[in-house]
Structure 1
């Protein structure tokens, strides 16, 4: 469930990056500020989640290597 919620946030995060590059949004300072503020709130969450995914992948890889090494000794 948490992954689903975070993935929804990821979609919005990506959408905000695109919106902030849109010339129409750039020309509308209040809209630009609103999107920039929303993006600023999502950025730490996305960075933490990316770090979580990297660490989970690293842990999986280390466990596999450890398991392989254990089987080699047998």
Structure 2
């Protein structure tokens, strides 16, 4: 979830959380959202963001199951 501009809550952020899949988001993409899932990592630095993406892809066990119901 890469977002560096705009306003309000982004629907794509909510839809991603609803799927229950691991996600990586910028702080800006989480604006207006009070609670984020445990399997969502926040990374604003490009290198940290890339590392978090690699970790999310490598850990297939970090799925809450909602995406497969």
TM range (shorter): under 0.3
Q: Per chain length, whose mean CA-contact separation is higher, i.e. which structure has more relative contact order (CA < 8 Å, sep 6+)?
A: 2
TM-score, structure 2 length as denominator?
A: 0.27
**Bigger Cα Rg:** 1
Normalization by structure 1: what TM-score?
A: 0.26
Q: Which has the higher strand share?
A: 2
